[in-house]
Amino acid sequence: MYRGACIGLLLLAGGCATYRGSMQDVDMALAANRPDAALKALQPLSGGHSEALYLLNRGMILRMQGDYADSVAAFEGAKHLMEYLEATSLTETAGALTLSENLRSYEGALYERLLLHVYQSLNYLQLGKPDAALVEVQQIDLLLRRLYPQTDAAPHGGDAFARYFSGLVYEDLGQWSDAMIAYRQAYQAYHAEGVPDDAIPPDLQLSLCRFADYLGLTQELADYKRRFGIDSWPPVMADGGDPDGQLVFIFNNGLAPNKIPIQSVVQSPVNFHFYTIALPSLKRRVPAVGDAVVQVSGQDATTQRVESIAADAARALAAAMPKLIADEVARNVIREVAANQVDKKHQGMGAFVSLFGALVDQPDTRIWNTLPDDIQLARLRLPPGTYNVTVQLMGRYGGVVTTRVFNNVVIQAGRMTFTSWHWVSF
């Protein structure tokens, strides 16, 4: 029995080390702007309890390469697996409760599931498939309605940008009422996250005024004008009447936080049994870039932060912590019962049983950490044509970090063109 316990301990500890080591290699490759090397470093993590997480990370790295079609395939795999795992198996629950949280299949936090639909929608937009992009943002709404039918909103935040992005897609397809609903939901979600009116993304402020004006929502428009101090905006031109197109640039800044283990093992001086406290904590990786300046045809715009994934992750972990603590207490109780039973047959051996259990008990430090630290956005109105778009990434403390030119960006009258860039630097 003890030999089997040791083998189980070594296998589980080795698996945890492999996961952390592989993700460190992924991070280093991305920081060196080598997504091809990051994909190779990620490959050993395929399969097992972390398959959904592997697919999420693979999809994001493929996006960084500009391989949107293969990113779509990876994200679709992750989406279907996470939907299947939403009803957790009893076997996994029992194993996690007895030994370690790492024995659960990775399902993803709510903000991750929402961002999966956002990035999949963006993939489709960059592939020129707006109808498929629309299906993804509709799934955002369906997911929130199914999980939270009373509010249609995430209870711990993380849905503001998903709603905002949905509004952009609806607007691009000329679905004005749906766009207004999504923009309104985004505004409410930002408020729920504690964002004051003066910190609401300026583009969202403008969009709320534009569509409230167009839809004849007189009282609502007056309220937005008072709250935001806005008096003018580009009119909404229906039925293809807008002579200009729009460039929507999305900047993915850095990498999301890592989860790190906070672990302590103590021994009782009474029965010499071992007890553990094993919980995850977050370590933010602050990007070296502050924002981006988008320059095209004599115009320029500075990106504005529309989502802090670092804050999303912190809220999600805080919400999960009471259950994590309760499960940790339960694991200690279960191990204590088992150790006492062993002591009755083999006096003193219960300490070894409790030690093995304490060492196997590892906090779950899995997280979708190839997401950016924050998401920023800039929108420019341009006449139809083909443009070279210059983007300068500005250092957090000043200076230009790097510059990239997006060549041959096509702008169509009455439509949006979505362009994105994910830059990793610490």
283-340, pLDDT tens digit by residue?
A: 999 999 999 999 999 999 999 999 999 999 999 999 999 999 998 888 888 887 888 8
Per-residue pLDDT tens over the stretch 331-382: 888 887 888 888 788 887 877 777 777 777 788 899 999 999 999 999 999 9
Of the candidates 378, 391, 382, 390, the one whose C-alpha atom is nearest the C-alpha of residue 410 is 382
Per-residue pLDDT tens over the stretch 94-142: 444 555 566 778 989 999 999 999 999 999 999 999 999 999 999 999 9
List phi, psi (to 5°) of 237: -105, 105
Per-residue pLDDT tens over the stretch 134-186: 999 999 999 999 999 999 999 988 999 999 999 999 999 999 999 999 999 99
Every domain of the chain and the residues it spans? 241-426
Question: SS3 string of 345-388?
Answer: HCCCCHHHHHHHHHHHCCCCCCCCCCCCCEEEEEEEEECCEEEE
Fold adopted by 241-426: Immunoglobulin-like (2.60.40)
Crossing angle for the helix pair 218-228 and 202-214, to the nearest 10 degrees: 160
**What's the pLDDT score for residue 101?**
66
Query: Is the predicted pLDDT of residue 2 greater than 70, yes or no?
Result: no
Distance, CA of 301 to CA of 396 (rounded, Å): 17
Amino acid symbol at 374: D
Amino acid symbol at 133: A
Per-residue pLDDT tens over the stretch 224-244: 999 999 999 998 987 767 899
Is 0.75 topped by the overall pTM?
yes
- DSSP letter (8 states) at residue 252: E
The per-residue DSSP string of 206-227 comes to HHHHHHHHHTT-HHHHHHHHHH
Of the candidates 356, 284, 357, the one whose C-alpha atom is nearest the C-alpha of residue 99 is 357
Amino acid symbol at 150: Q
CA distances to 8, 30, 206, 229, 256 from 62, rounded to whole Å, are 35, 11, 33, 41, 17
Distance, CA of 12 to CA of 135 (rounded, Å): 40
Per-residue pLDDT tens over the stretch 178-220: 999 999 999 999 999 999 999 999 999 999 999 999 999 999 9
Q: Report residue 349 CA to chain centroid gap.
A: 45
Distance, CA of 310 to CA of 194 (rounded, Å): 15
Per-residue pLDDT tens over the stretch 47-69: 888 999 999 999 999 999 999 99
Place of tokens 């339960």: 330
**What's the pLDDT score for residue 85?**
84
Long-range contacts: 265-274, Cβ < 8 Å, 24+? 265/358, 265/359, 267/351, 271/339, 271/343, 271/350, 271/351, 272/348, 272/351, 273/335, 273/336, 273/339, 273/350, 273/351, 273/354, 274/351, 274/354, 274/355, 274/357, 274/358
Question: Mean per-residue pLDDT for 375-401?
Answer: 97
Give the sign of the dihedral formed by CA 117, CA 120, CA 125, CA 128: negative
Q: What residues does 389 pair with on adjacent strands?
A: 406
**What's the pLDDT score for residue 4?**
43
Radius of gyration in angstroms for the set of CA atoms belonging to the chain, rounded to a whole number: 25
Query: Is the predicted pLDDT of residue 21 greater than 90, yes or no?
Result: no
**What's the pLDDT score for residue 175?**
95
